[in-house]
Amino acid sequence: RSAAEFSFFLAMPTMAGAFAYDLYKNRDVLSMNDAVIITIGFIASFVAGVFVVKGLLDFVTRHGFAPFAWWRIVVGLLGFMGLYYLG
């Protein structure tokens, strides 16, 4: 659990930097009227992220990383197959 928590804490500065860089890149098309929409989106994604991270950490605590790892392998293979056959 502590390794998963550490990885999420490590991702926070990266996501904050990506958000700041995106705001900087789009500063010409944004106005103060967009601040409310950006704030609502930030709050909604933060709340959703808290629930998802808590759920994942609880799952990892109870079951370990093996089911999560297999899930990622299956979804990744399905994604590659989808790209190969449909893309």
Give the model's pLDDT for residue 25: 94
pLDDT in tens, 24-59: 999 899 888 888 998 899 899 889 988 988 898 888
Mean pLDDT of 57-76: 90
Kindly report the number of other CB atoms within 10 A of residue 19's CB atom: 13
Placement of tokens 């293979």 in the chain: 77
- Ramachandran sector of residue 31 (left: φ over 0; alpha: ψ -120 to 50; beta: rest): beta
CA distances from 47 to 43, 50, 63 (A): 6, 5, 24
Sequence spans of domains, the chain:
2-86
